[in-house]
Amino acid sequence: MDIGAACASAAHFILWRKIAGMNTQDPVVILEHDSIMLHSIKANEPVNWDGNIIALGYKLPDPAKYNHVAAGRPSLVIPRKRHSGAHAYMITPETARRLCAELDEKGAMRAIDNFYFMRVNDPGDTESDVPLSLMVPTPAIGWLRKSTIWDSPSTLNYDVVDEFSRYLRQ
């Protein structure tokens, strides 16, 4: 694992440990340095957030190309097989405890983005057992600029849902 990716991953793991010790059932939002919150994530109705990593949005080099006002506030949480990175997500303390237990058991073989979000498997490797979901419409954007870890930022977005594409200008 690249040293920059290892440092970024370690920061997330430290946050998980802190969140795991919190005395609340509410989800906690984790944002990397390149995240922009577009909408509140408050649910209108009670939601059981436990047990899932809930990704909050996609990556864009120009956030102005996504019409978040027309798209509206998020109203759904849908299951996903994978998502494009850990730039904006939320977990509950219960989910954090599951993530920490998995981390203690499996270790950190790959960067957080690859193992927990993109779920890219190396031969003989496993992926996370903690389910992944996506909040829709998108309440956050990862604003791609010069990467602090890689030679260039990844513009790849996996499995883009129609709700996002409909409000994205190319």
148-169 pLDDT, tens digit each: 555 555 555 656 777 877 888 8
DSSP 148: S
Give residue limits of the domains in the chain: 3-165
Q: Give pTM, 2 decimals.
A: 0.85
pLDDT digits (tens, 9 = 90+) for 119-150: 765 555 567 888 888 999 999 998 886 655 55
DSSP readout, 31-95? E-TTEEE-S----SS----TT-EEE---EES-GGGB-HHHH-S--EEEEES--S-SSEEEE-HHH
pLDDT band at 2 (very low <50, low <70, confident <90, very high): confident
128: tokens are 């996370």
